[in-house]
């Protein structure tokens, strides 16, 4: 096979989020891939990676920027628009996927696969206690739900086409990214660093029951590998997969270990809204940046407090069955405790936290 026939071009939509950024980092290690990153902010192109700034909510801008990308073979869709309510999430998140696919699919004759990033919202995990372990075959819940609408769009669009789709369903995704509304690792790292700066113990801020619930996480690097696997293994065509680290934990066991990493004592949990109590901490953050000679990241870029409140409110078990991916051939796993400590170490090396 000649080199051109084996080359692939990935269009990573949502390139600056924790999922898209880690996916690009993984694709760069695979020599047969060229990569185009798409986001509102764009990015710094280098080597086999180039970035495009696109407003996916604007059909005209999407068509203008994307319809010339004839070389695209794989679309990896990981974009997300946050909104105040679940119902309001549907219109923008469905529109962005539709605008991206309608611009690229007719223009890219070699398109082989569209990968859709989902999550446990498919199972109603965000609404309250849900059936655990959740399985890919579980029934959908009462709409509105943008994850389901996005998958329905791809299923209908794919009929009679040469390309296939896959849907990846991770738990909470942890990895490096700044300016991201859904980044639990940085919530914990900045909360712990500020607790230390103020001479406070590290208290679990969530609901009392959440401290004892059974949970799982998904490492962003593991998810990247699974995403490329599902997009390139023919057995995975038109399938959905739960992607998890492979282990379960409770905060009551992990929290003291996180505190120990930051050289902090723990104190009994105290439920509070991080979004509220951290609203006035920009001055503290700026003082920490100066005092510890940290990288010059704005407080806004390291704040995902609302998402932290969301995760720490789960006073019910929150996990899915990850065995389908293993049955189909994906056998990677990550130790969750090590994952958190590795991310904290990485944040220190990047001078994001002291």
Mean pLDDT of 167-184: 89
Q: Does 354 reside within a domain?
A: no
Phi, psi of 74 (to 5 degrees): -140, 130
Name the residue with tokens 């760069």: 28
Chain Cα centroid distance, residue 70: 27
Q: How far is CA 14 from CA 78, 315, 316, in A?
A: 5, 30, 30
State the pLDDT at residue 6: 87
d(CA 224, CA 218): 10
d(CA 328, CA 111): 23
- 98-147 confidence digits (pLDDT tens): 999 999 999 999 999 999 999 999 999 999 999 999 999 999 999 999 99
Q: Is 236 exposed, middle or buried (0-12, 13-18, 19+ CB in 10 A)?
A: buried
Q: Specify whether 123 is located in the same domain as 41.
A: yes
Q: Specify whether 235 is located in the same domain as 291.
A: no
Q: Specify whether 208 is located in the same domain as 86.
A: no
Q: Specify whether 305 is located in the same domain as 235.
A: no
DSSP 140: P
The CATH number of the domain where 143 resides is what?
3.40.50.720
Percent of the chain with pLDDT over 90: 95
Range of the domain at 262: 177-216+248-349
Pairing of strands 202-203, 266-267: parallel
Confidence tier at 353 by pLDDT (50, 70, 90): very high
- 23-33 confidence digits (pLDDT tens): 999 999 999 99
pLDDT at 341 over 80: yes
- 56-72 confidence digits (pLDDT tens): 999 999 999 999 999 99
- Count up the domains in the chain and report the number: 2
Mean pLDDT of 11-20: 95
State the pLDDT at residue 3: 52
Q: Specify whether 165 is located in the same domain as 136.
A: yes
d(CA 330, CA 348): 31
d(CA 57, CA 232): 28
């Amino acid at each position: 096979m000649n080199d051109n026939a084996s080359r692939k071009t990935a269009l990573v939509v949502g390139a600056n989020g924790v999922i898209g950024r880690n996916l690009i980092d993984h694709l760069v290690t695979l020599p047969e891939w060229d990569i185009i990153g798409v986001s509102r902010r764009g990015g710094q192109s280098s080597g086999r990676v180039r970035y495009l700034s696109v407003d996916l909510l604007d059909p005209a801008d999407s068509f203008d920027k994307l319809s010339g990308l004839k070389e695209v073979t794989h679309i990896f869709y990981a974009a997300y628009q946050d909104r105040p309510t679940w119902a309001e999430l549907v219109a923008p998140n469905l529109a962005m996927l539709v605008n991206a696919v309608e611009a690229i699919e007719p223009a890219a004759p070699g398109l082989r696969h569209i990968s859709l990033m989902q999550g446990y919202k498919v199972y109603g995990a965000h609404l309250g206690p849900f059936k655990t372990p959740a399985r890919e075959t579980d029934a959908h819940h009462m709409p509105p739900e943008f994850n389901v609408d996005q998958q329905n769009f791809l299923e209908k669009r794919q009929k009679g086409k040469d390309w296939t789709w896959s849907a990846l369903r991770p738990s909470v995704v942890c990895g490096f990214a700044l300016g991201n509304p859904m980044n639990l690792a940085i919530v914990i790292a900045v909360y712990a660093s500020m607790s230390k700066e103020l001479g406070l113990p590290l208290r679990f801020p969530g609901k009392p029951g959440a401290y004892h619930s059974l949970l799982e996480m998904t490492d962003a690097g593991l998810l990247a590998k699974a995403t490329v696997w599902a997009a390139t293994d023919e057995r995975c065509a038109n399938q959905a997969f739960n992607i998890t680290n492979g282990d379960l934990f409770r905060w009551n066991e992990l929290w003291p270990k996180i505190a120990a990493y930051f050289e902090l004592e723990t104190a009994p949990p105290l439920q509070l809204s991080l979004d509220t109590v951290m609203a006035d901490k920009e001055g503290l953050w700026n003082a920490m940046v100066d005092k510890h000679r940290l990288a010059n990241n704005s407080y806004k870029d390291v704040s995902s407090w609302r998402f932290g409140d969301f995760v720490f409110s789960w006073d019910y078990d929150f996990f899915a069955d990850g065995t389908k991916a293993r049955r189909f051939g994906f056998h990677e796993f990550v130790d969750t405790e090590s994952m958190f400590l590795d991310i904290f170490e990485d944040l220190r090396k990047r001078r994001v936290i002291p």
